[in-house]
Homo-oligomer: A and B are copies of this chain.
Amino acid sequence: MLFFTQCFGAVLDLIHLRFQHYKAKRVFSAAGQLVCVVNPTHSLKYAPTRCAVAQTSTEQGSLPPCHHHEAVHDPQLVPCTCPLFSCPWEGHLEVVVSHLRQNHRINILQGAEIVFLATDMHLPAPTDWIIMHSCLGHQFLLVLRKQEKYEGHPQFFATMMLIGTPTQADNFTYRLELNRNQRRLKWEATPRSVLECVDSVISDGDCLVLNTSLAQLFSDNGSLAIGIAITTSKVHNGEAEM
């Protein structure tokens, strides 16, 4: 019996060690900055025209334009904001984060400044690299997408969305920075709300856009490091909304 208990303990230790190794691979600290290794996910339900509806009336309380469900009656409910799947889930904005973590296994990181290290940049389009970022009391969704807007010419699109309303999003500024090979590219903008749909932000090109050759110049061994920083752009006057 003692033998079996010891064996079981050893197996548990191995599982724990494997888990630690897995975590270590995904998040580590370099030069004082938190580096998050993000593996790609092939978009199973990618549809370029998913968000064809014009982005009007996306303030809290009205139906978001990404809505796929015909039978929604509660205007407070929002659909799943995961850009990877056409997920039938819907719920209140406050529980979107836990849905994304539990159902779509999207990691969440803490910290004002982090490095998003996207691996396997060579994988064919469409591919997404996604994490959530918890900062300044809010949660943000960072999406890097490889997509062929022009057939045969994949491009990379990176944007940050607030898991909150457009009014709340106006209070922040996000910065994405690439820095390698004596080149530096910085993109600063107000994050869009997840209610506005990441697909339409990318199809509008209102984000950081990289062609393949530039992505290669900024990549190291097939991985692209994007420095992320979020700041408040004005006094939070929309805090009471959520």
Cβ of A183: which chain B residues have Cβ within 8 Å of it? 187-190, 206
Contact B217 A213 (CB under 8 A): no
Q: Which residue of B lies closest to A187 (CB)?
A: B185
Cβ of A185: which chain B residues have Cβ within 8 Å of it? 185-188
Q: Does A76 contact B (CB under 8 A)?
A: no
Q: Does A100 contact B (CB under 8 A)?
A: no
Given contacts A209-B211, A214-B206, contact A186 B189 (CB under 8 A): no
Q: Does A3 contact B (CB under 8 A)?
A: no
A182 to B150, CA, bound (A): 28
Contact A184 B187 (CB under 8 A): yes
Cβ of A233: which chain B residues have Cβ within 8 Å of it? 182
The size of the chain A interface, using a CB distance under 8 A, is 23
Q: How far is the CB of A230 from chain B (nearest CB, A)?
A: 14
Chain A positions 182-239 with a Cβ under 8 Å from a chain B Cβ: 182-190, 204-206, 209, 211-214, 217, 233
Contact B214 A209 (CB under 8 A): yes
Given contacts A150-B153, A213-B205, A217-B206, contact A182 B186 (CB under 8 A): no
Cβ of A150: which chain B residues have Cβ within 8 Å of it? 150, 153
Contact B186 A184 (CB under 8 A): yes
Contact A211 B205 (CB under 8 A): yes
Contact B209 A204 (CB under 8 A): no
Q: How far is the CB of A170 from chain B (nearest CB, A)?
A: 9
A233 to B183, CA, bound (A): 12
| A residues with CB within 8 A of B | 149-150, 153, 173, 182-190, 204-206, 209, 211-214, 217, 233
